[in-house]
Chain A
Amino acid sequence: MTLAKQLKQGFALIVQYRRMVLLLYVLLVLLALLVVLPFQALINRVAGHSLSLEGLLKGWDYTFWNDFMNEYGAALTPVLQLSLLAMGVYLLAMIFFLGGIFSLFVHTPSVWDRALFWGQSARFFGRMLRLSIYFWLMQAAILAAFGALYLSLSKGLSPYQLDNDALIMGNLRLLLPFYLLVAVIVLMWQDYAKVVLVAQDEKRLYRPILAAWRFVFRHFAAAFVLYITLLALLGLLNWLNLQWYPLIEEKTGFLILLSFFLSQLVLVLRLLLRLAQWSTATAFWQSKQSGELENNA
């Protein structure tokens, strides 16, 4: 199966289950609103009648925020806590939905199957949570190892030890590609572990983890190209976002709305690309499995 075909198949699955995309996007909006609405109410309460609000139109108004934090900063603490809570809830919710998302991609019902989605989400939640934790620990260990290596090469960034501050960036440039490579491979492995977990409905997690590792190892080139292509698309999207963002001077309600809709479009595309990583991985895994079965037969 060619790369283009894999991508096409992956995106076709997402389009097929667009209600799922809508659900995930609505979740994203609602959780963000959970933070933004109290924040807006707070600003309205303490500065709602102040002409200094107009300064916010120019972007980041240092003096406004500085005075705000000095005078009313304590009131912002619950909002900050709420934002952390919202992120935690989002993470947990996404872990919950993983079972449903992968079940749709694995079983590919012809239409959106609500029962399958919710049922499998609940069914796999515990295992997906554990699987995520295992891989987070793995990612943390990799980050710590590269961090330690970086600090060791950069002599702890100590002005008393380091020869030359160019090494701070130089070592980072040297190590970062390797770190990203390893981290991406682990992320890819994690995605295939989820595919195997749902497809084979394994109770013991080490089996899908090992099976996914074997799969990634055996089909590394194709799997990696697929994964990195989607990451590159994500990078391209973020780059484009950074390009257009400063072009719109958000000085009027219309331009603010336009900019907001464009931001939301980018977010939806980012969500689609994340889902595409999962759907293409599932399709790729299934194509290889069916190929092996045919060979065995």
Chain B
Amino acid sequence: MPDMNPLKATLTLLLGLGLLLGSAEAQRDPRSFAAPLSPRTASYDIALNLDTEKHQVKATQVLTFTNPSEDTIWTLQFHLYYNAFRNNRSTFVAEGGVLTLSMSEEDLEKGRWAWIKVTEAKDSRGRDLSRNMRYIRPDDGNPNDYTVLEIPLAEPVLPYQSCRLEMKWQSQIPKLMIRTGYNRDFYFMAQWFPKLGVYEPAGTRFAEKGAWNCHQYHSNTEYYGEFGVYKVAITAPSEYVVGASGFLLDQKKQGNNTTHIYLAEDVIDFTWAACPHFVEVKDKWQGTDIRLLIMPEHLHQKERFLQPAKNTLSFFASYLEPYPYPTLTIVSPPYYGLMCGAMEYPTLITSATLSALPPGIRTTETLVTHELTHQYFMQMLASNEQEEPWMDEGFTAFFEGKIMDRYLPEGVVAWDRMGLHIGSEEFRRGRFFEAENPQVNPLSDFGWEFRHGSYSPIVYGKAAVALNTLEGLLGEATMQAIMQTYFARWKFKHPGRQDFIDVVNEVVQQRHGDQFGSDMNWFLEPVIFGTEMCDYSVASISNTLMPEPLGIFEEIDKPLLPEEEQPELYRSKVVLYRLGGLVIPQEIKVVFDDGEVVLANWDGQARSHELVYTGEKQVLSAFLDSDWKTPLDKNRINNSYTLEPDKTGLQRTCAALLSWLQAAMLSLSLLL
């Protein structure tokens, strides 16, 4: 080796380092974030092979986990969601009871159950950790549930330090039933890999001390993940069109297979789909590439996906913050993949359509809007759907209504000929109140505690209607300020309900002082933790002619006698009731017979309340919440009372009913 001058050697070293860094920079995909958006606590490098004959996946996986706490962590916990389909006694099946729907007789007879097995787990020093790994059942102790795996470490992860875990695993993909699986040649791969739970340091959400939050797979809920970077190499037969979270880094063909390498940064999960029949439609919204994977028979419906996607992205760009990711993939499954047709995963969503879906039924548009909204509520604001599902679905349902009503004001169900126009928000409200028992659970329950069909009406419906009511009370500007503060403060973190409550109280105090009291807990707590309903009514209106004053009064010398020219005085009384348990202050619009309008306020506390007016005018009508600020009020019909009802609308309805009935009878006569 020739002797070298130390300065020359240093310069050479610096030059070499510079070239190395320069080349690394040159290799960085321009779509990659220059600076991380999230803490990147758990990052994955996965290489998988999809076997489309056996419907199996074989993979190697390298996890890099950074301890986010001051605790010393001795174990890692993983979700193995595919084991929910390993038998018919898992917690998922026990709660949902839908497994056998997707399994054929033959599947059952031949024991074709789905599963996922970790075959090897090694730490960075090559020590085998698989011998001590075990299944745990933190939620219900169900011995037949194998959806959470705990791996004890040979050496702990020290505070804020990282560890690396190399795994090999294999899975049998379930028949598509709900969210994930395959049917024929369509694969929708969600919750498909051993995914690390979330380590919650003390003070995070409900955690009093640092602990893993890694629930079993429940039929109602699925999301809670740690932010990270996913580099996933998917090897599948070359005829398959693949779509995945993140963006395509590279594609390599090897024999009959192609490896698609995807990179997704600052996301809580990774999902992919594959089908040989997908047609790819490309579009763009500002800096985001939109990729729609759609079946040929649905291609004529493509604008029903793309336009709502662009509307939603535009809405959030102005309402909160622009969508930061470089790509958005929308998967429209085939009819035989319909069971995953309304799902949300980071930068990849699914939305179903049908070839003959009438344009007036906005299901596809609603699904795109809803699932895309989840990129904000659940993805960037990574709340715990399993424990606080309303913070995910409820917020999303609230924004879905807002966006749909703004961009499609003719309604989510629109049929001009019949005068049928149902807005998104009113449709959501209607579905909540028509639930069999809208009081069966408070919003605060864990996802799997919602039983008897209560999940959707309450988690989606009640939460959305409650947020609409909050907006009605505070005004749109304050609501937007709340959402902006909540998002700015908690994006790429794990907010809980108290964090939202704190933001509401802070923003309301800043903008309104004590106008609504010292805080908004009087509204938020009964709505989140209670089950009471809201129902206020105008019970009656009376106008009683007051007799003229006659007789002896103080400070008047002689008794008052009847006078012929005395003006008539009325004592008008409006009686209001609080029929529900939920208390919300009310604004009452009182209209007098001379056209005068008086606005009165009632704190809404008592079970009944009177408004009394004395004068020459009579009260004609009274309307509680005439601007419909309180959609939580379950009965709008009793919110108003008038002494001079306008029955024109009823006449129209009755005339139409009469004609419809006659038409139905005449149609029957065709059978004679």
A residues contacting B by CB (< 8 A) are 28-29, 31-33, 35-36, 39-40, 43-44, 46-60, 62-64, 66-71, 83, 86-87, 90-91, 94-95, 98, 132, 135-136, 139, 159-166, 168-169, 187, 190, 242, 245-246, 250-253, 256-257, 259-260, 263-264, 267, 270-271, 274
B522 at the interface (CB under 8 A from A): no
B residues contacting A by CB (< 8 A) are 102, 104, 175, 183, 295, 297, 334-339, 354-356, 416-423, 426-427, 429-430, 433-434, 621, 623, 634-643, 645-655, 657-659, 661-666, 668-672
Check if B336 sits within 8 Å of A51, measured CB to CB: no
Query: In the complex, what residues of A have CB within 8 A of residue B623's CB?
Result: 51
Query: In the complex, what residues of A have CB within 8 A of residue B645's CB?
Result: 48-51, 53
| A294 vs B637: C-alpha distance when bound (angstroms) | 73
Indicate which residue in A32, A55, A58, A70 contacts B433 across the interface (CB closer than 8 Å). Answer: A70
Indicate which residue in A59, A69, A98, A267 contacts B662 across the interface (CB closer than 8 Å). Answer: A267
Check if B354 sits within 8 Å of A165, measured CB to CB: yes
Check if A56 sits within 8 Å of B665, measured CB to CB: no
Check if A274 sits within 8 Å of B670, measured CB to CB: yes
| A97 vs B576: C-alpha distance when bound (angstroms) | 56
Residue of B nearest to A165 (CB): B335
Check if B666 sits within 8 Å of A252, measured CB to CB: no
Indicate which residue in A54, A58, A64 contacts B419 across the interface (CB closer than 8 Å). Answer: A58
Query: In the complex, what residues of A have CB within 8 A of residue B651's CB?
Result: 253, 256
Check if A87 sits within 8 Å of B668, measured CB to CB: yes
Residue of A nearest to B664 (CB): A87
With A54-B646, A160-B336 as contacts: A267 and B663 at CB distance below 8 Å: yes
Best-buried of A86, A162, A165, A245 by chain B (most CB within 10 Å): A165
Query: In the complex, what residues of A have CB within 8 A of residue B648's CB?
Result: 54, 57, 251-253, 256
Query: In the complex, what residues of A have CB within 8 A of residue B336's CB?
Result: 159-163
| A274 vs B670: C-alpha distance when bound (angstroms) | 7
Check if B640 sits within 8 Å of A169, measured CB to CB: no
Write 6 A-B pairs (CB below 8 A) sorted by A numbering. A35-B657, A52-B636, A63-B426, A246-B417, A246-B419, A270-B663
Check if B652 sits within 8 Å of A250, measured CB to CB: yes
Query: In the complex, what residues of B have CB within 8 A of residue A267's CB?
Result: 659, 662-663, 666
Check if B356 sits within 8 Å of A57, measured CB to CB: no
Check if B665 sits within 8 Å of A50, measured CB to CB: no
Query: In the complex, what residues of B have CB within 8 A of residue A271's CB?
Result: 666
Residue of A nearest to B423 (CB): A62
With A60-B418, A66-B433, A163-B336 as contacts: A44 and B650 at CB distance below 8 Å: yes
Query: In the complex, what residues of A have CB within 8 A of residue B670's CB?
Result: 187, 274
Check if A40 sits within 8 Å of B654, measured CB to CB: yes
Question: What is the CB-to-nearest-CB distance from B652 to chain A, in angstroms, rounded to a whole number?
Answer: 5
Query: In the complex, what residues of B have CB within 8 A of residue A66's CB?
Result: 429-430, 433-434
Query: In the complex, what residues of B have CB within 8 A of residue A33's CB?
Result: 658
Residue of A nearest to B649 (CB): A56
Check if B657 sits within 8 Å of A52, measured CB to CB: no
With A66-B433, A162-B336, A163-B336 as contacts: A51 and B621 at CB distance below 8 Å: yes
Question: What is the CB-to-nearest-CB distance from B536 to chain A, in angstroms, rounded to a whole number?
Answer: 13
Indicate which residue in B339, B417, B621 contacts A245 across the interface (CB closer than 8 Å). Answer: B417
Question: What is the CB-to-nearest-CB distance from A227 to chain B, in angstroms, rounded to a whole number?
Answer: 12
Best-buried of B356, B637, B646, B669 by chain A (most CB within 10 Å): B637
Check if A86 sits within 8 Å of B649, measured CB to CB: no
| A165 vs B332: C-alpha distance when bound (angstroms) | 13
Question: What is the CB-to-nearest-CB distance from A20 to chain B, in angstroms, rounded to a whole number?
Answer: 14
With A36-B661, A63-B429, A253-B651 as contacts: A162 and B422 at CB distance below 8 Å: no
| A166 vs B643: C-alpha distance when bound (angstroms) | 55
Question: What is the CB-to-nearest-CB distance from A158 to chain B, in angstroms, rounded to a whole number?
Answer: 9
| A245 vs B642: C-alpha distance when bound (angstroms) | 31
Query: In the complex, what residues of B have CB within 8 A of residue A187's CB?
Result: 670-671
| A86 vs B670: C-alpha distance when bound (angstroms) | 16
Question: What is the CB-to-nearest-CB distance from B581 to chain A, in angstroms, rounded to a whole number?
Answer: 16
Check if A67 sits within 8 Å of B433, measured CB to CB: yes
| A57 vs B645: C-alpha distance when bound (angstroms) | 13
Query: In the complex, what residues of A have CB within 8 A of residue B102's CB?
Result: 160
Q: Which 9 A-B pairs have the closest CB atoms?
A: A59-B419, A56-B649, A165-B335, A51-B640, A57-B649, A263-B659, A66-B430, A32-B661, A166-B355
Residue of B nearest to A191 (CB): B672
Check if A70 sits within 8 Å of B183, measured CB to CB: no
Check if A63 sits within 8 Å of B654, measured CB to CB: no
Residue of A nearest to B647 (CB): A53
Check if B640 sits within 8 Å of A50, measured CB to CB: yes
Residue of B nearest to A190 (CB): B672
Query: In the complex, what residues of B have CB within 8 A of residue A87's CB?
Result: 661, 664-665, 668
Query: In the complex, what residues of B have CB within 8 A of residue A60's CB?
Result: 418-421
Best-buried of B418, B634, B640, B661 by chain A (most CB within 10 Å): B661
Indicate which residue in A39, A94, A139 contacts B669 across the interface (CB closer than 8 Å). Answer: A94
With A32-B662, A67-B635 as contacts: A164 and B671 at CB distance below 8 Å: no
Check if A246 sits within 8 Å of B659, measured CB to CB: no
Question: What is the CB-to-nearest-CB distance from B451 to chain A, in angstroms, rounded to a whole number?
Answer: 21
Question: What is the CB-to-nearest-CB distance from B465 to chain A, in angstroms, rounded to a whole number?
Answer: 12
Check if A31 sits within 8 Å of B665, measured CB to CB: yes
| A33 vs B654: C-alpha distance when bound (angstroms) | 9
Best-buried of B416, B636, B654 by chain A (most CB within 10 Å): B636
Check if A160 sits within 8 Å of B183, measured CB to CB: yes
Check if B640 sits within 8 Å of A52, measured CB to CB: yes
With A36-B658, A52-B640 as contacts: A274 and B418 at CB distance below 8 Å: no
Query: In the complex, what residues of A have CB within 8 A of residue B422's CB?
Result: 62
| A252 vs B637: C-alpha distance when bound (angstroms) | 22
Indicate which residue in A36, A68, A90, A270 contacts B657 across the interface (CB closer than 8 Å). Answer: A36
Query: In the complex, what residues of A have CB within 8 A of residue B662's CB?
Result: 28-29, 32, 264, 267
Indicate which residue in A86, A164, A250 contacts B661 across the interface (CB closer than 8 Å). Answer: A86
| A49 vs B645: C-alpha distance when bound (angstroms) | 6
Check if B653 sits within 8 Å of A56, measured CB to CB: yes
